[in-house]
Amino acid sequence: MEQGNETRISKFLLLGISEDPKLQPFLFGLFLFMYLVTVLGNLLIILATISDSHLHTPMYFFLANLSFADICFTTTSIPKMLVNIQTQSKVITYAGCITQIYFFIFFGVLDNFLLAVMAYDHYVAICHPLHYTVMNHRLCGLLVLACWATTALNSLLETLMALRLSFCIDLEIPHFVCELNQLVLLACSDTFPNDMVMYFAAVLLGGGPLAGVLYSYSKIVSSIRAISSAQVKYKAFSTCASHLSVVSLFYSTLLGVYLNSSITQNSQSTARASVMYSVVTPMLNPFIYSLRNKDLTGDLRRLFRGKL
């Protein structure tokens, strides 16, 4: 059964992480807490970076963009989830679902690109310190602009492809957010073009940045091993330790989710696992960066004391 554009459905049902009524108050409190911590933590990173001229460097410029992307990434899904729990409704409109898909893809892929750009920044700083002047404001701005433009075009393409899908009776999405994969599974129309675009985007926009990160860190490790001084080695390692922690957390949880979904075929289990990369990782990023960075920690303390 296939429907045309004029008979498109008007709403979907987001089943969330659990349908158990007894768990809903707990889930509401837990996700509200994680969302507030995510927004506050990442907002403080942005404010500290903007306020202190000493932090107007490529690393902190990229970090501020990553923090902004993390705030937007969680805002795409969590507020709607909280509203649905509070109102005891699972409904999301068709337009709302398509909008969620666009921004969920956009900021998820943007995180991926920004982590790759930050890895490149560390690579130049450690492996080619004499040429680090190439990372000027213009180049950094162009790199970030390229990240935003590429992810925007990819999200637009995948969302436009989703608009061509027709749906039958089963409108239940076993997730807390409208995810493109789940929407495609509900479609009654031909999904082959959508599958091809998703696979191509996953390889090019997912695997490409990951390969860049792995290459950068392979060169960084080789350069650090060649350093004779233990003190210089420690300083070089500490420069990229926070970023390496965030990269490891992001990719391990992301890959874990999709490997788990391909093995178990349990959609609601996949939804629970998705919390790790879409909610927990953005929440932990500010703590990872601030705890290992004395300059950033000092600025955050001054922000709290009102001295900036």
Q: For residue 27, which of 76, 72, 78, 101 has the smallest C-alpha distance? A: 78
Q: Identify any residues that bridge with 91 across adjacent strands, giving them in sequence order.
A: 13
The residue among 217 and 9 whose pLDDT is bigger is: 217
37 Cβ partners below 8 Å, 6+ apart? 283
Tens of pLDDT along 91-145? 999 999 999 999 999 999 999 999 999 999 999 989 988 888 889 999 999 999 9
pLDDT at 308: 47
Tens of pLDDT along 184-216? 988 888 899 999 999 999 899 989 999 999 999
pLDDT band at residue 261 under the 50/70/90 scheme: low
pLDDT band at residue 262 under the 50/70/90 scheme: low
The residue among 29 and 186 whose pLDDT is bigger is: 29
pLDDT at 282: 93
pTM of the model: 0.89
Q: C-alpha distances in angstroms, 300 versus 54, 242, 285?
A: 13, 17, 15
Show the tokens assigned to 169. 């009776």
* Cβ atoms of residues 194 and 165 within 8 Å: yes
Helix, strand or coil, per DSSP, at residue 193: helix
Q: Is the pLDDT of residue 16 over 80?
A: yes
Q: Is the pLDDT of residue 4 over 70?
A: no
Pick the most confident of 179-188, 222-231, 269-278: 179-188
* Cβ atoms of residues 273 and 256 within 8 Å: yes
pLDDT band at residue 2 under the 50/70/90 scheme: very low
Mean pLDDT across 12-35: 92
CA-based end-to-end distance of the chain: 62
Helix, strand or coil, per DSSP, at residue 14: strand
Q: For residue 60, which of 48, 44, 43 has the smallest C-alpha distance? A: 48
pLDDT at 3: 43
Pick the most confident of 7-11, 32-36, 60-64: 32-36
Q: Alpha-carbon distance 256 to 268, whole Å? A: 15
pLDDT band at residue 80 under the 50/70/90 scheme: very high
* Cβ atoms of residues 13 and 171 within 8 Å: yes
Q: Alpha-carbon distance 204 to 212, whole Å? A: 11
The reply to whether CATH 3.40.50.720 applies to domain 7-305 is: no
* Cβ atoms of residues 295 and 55 within 8 Å: yes
Tens of pLDDT along 279-297? 999 999 888 887 656 666 6
User: Starting from the edge strand earliest in sequence, which strands make up the sheet with 172-173, in order?
Assistant: 91-93, 11-14, 172-173
Residue whose pair of structure tokens reads 């001229």 in the numeric block = 53
Residue type at 29 in one-letter notation: G
pLDDT band at residue 1 under the 50/70/90 scheme: very low
pLDDT at 232: 75
pLDDT at 306: 59
Q: Is the pLDDT of residue 22 over 60?
A: yes
Q: Alpha-carbon distance 162 to 46, whole Å? A: 34
Residue whose pair of structure tokens reads 């874990």 in the numeric block = 256
Work out whether strand 172-173 and strand 91-93 pair parallel, antiparallel, or are unpaired.
unpaired
Strands (DSSP E) found in 161-233? 172-173
pLDDT at 245: 86
Q: For residue 27, which of 86, 71, 68, 69 has the smallest C-alpha distance? A: 86
Q: For residue 124, which of 216, 236, 225 has the smallest C-alpha distance? A: 216
pLDDT at 304: 60
pLDDT at 7: 46
Domain boundaries, the chain: 7-305
Mean pLDDT across 231-248: 81
210 Cβ partners below 8 Å, 6+ apart? 112, 116, 251
